């Protein structure tokens, strides 16, 4: 296994040495494109970060509303139980 990896590594290094060097203009154009792509990715990341912050804030609000509604539901259930309890104890 190790020998196979060493042979593959040697083959890849030899292939890299045989790759012709890119002309300077292509390299410069490639650098410009890479910088543009980097800036685009950076902008997208910042937008996603902002969306994430908004989503977290919305989630917090929804969790608080859910807690309030759960408490209100519990109160209504208790009121219903209390209203039904005296009627159950009375004879018809």
> pLDDT, tens digit, for every residue of 36-76?
999 999 999 999 999 999 999 999 999 999 999 999 999 99
| CB 30, CB 22: distance < 8 Å | yes
> How many other C-beta atoms can be found within 10 angstroms of the C-beta atom of residue 77?
10
Q: Tell me the percentage of the chain whose pLDDT exceeds 90.
A: 52
pLDDT averaged over every residue in the chain: 86
- pLDDT for res 60: 94
User: Global pTM?
Assistant: 0.50
Torsion sign across C-alpha atoms 24, 26, 32, 34: negative
- pLDDT for res 70: 97
């Amino acid at each position: 296994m190790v020998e196979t990896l060493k042979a593959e590594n040697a083959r890849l290094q030899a292939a890299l040495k045989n790759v012709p060097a890119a002309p300077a203009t292509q390299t410069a154009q490639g650098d410009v494109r890479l910088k543009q792509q980097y800036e685009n990715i950076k902008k997208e990341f910042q937008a996603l970060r902002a969306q994430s912050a908004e989503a977290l804030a919305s989630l917090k609000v929804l969790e608080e509303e859910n807690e309030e509604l759960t408490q209100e539901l519990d109160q209504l259930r208790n009121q219903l139980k209390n209203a039904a309890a005296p009627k159950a104890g009375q004879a018809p």
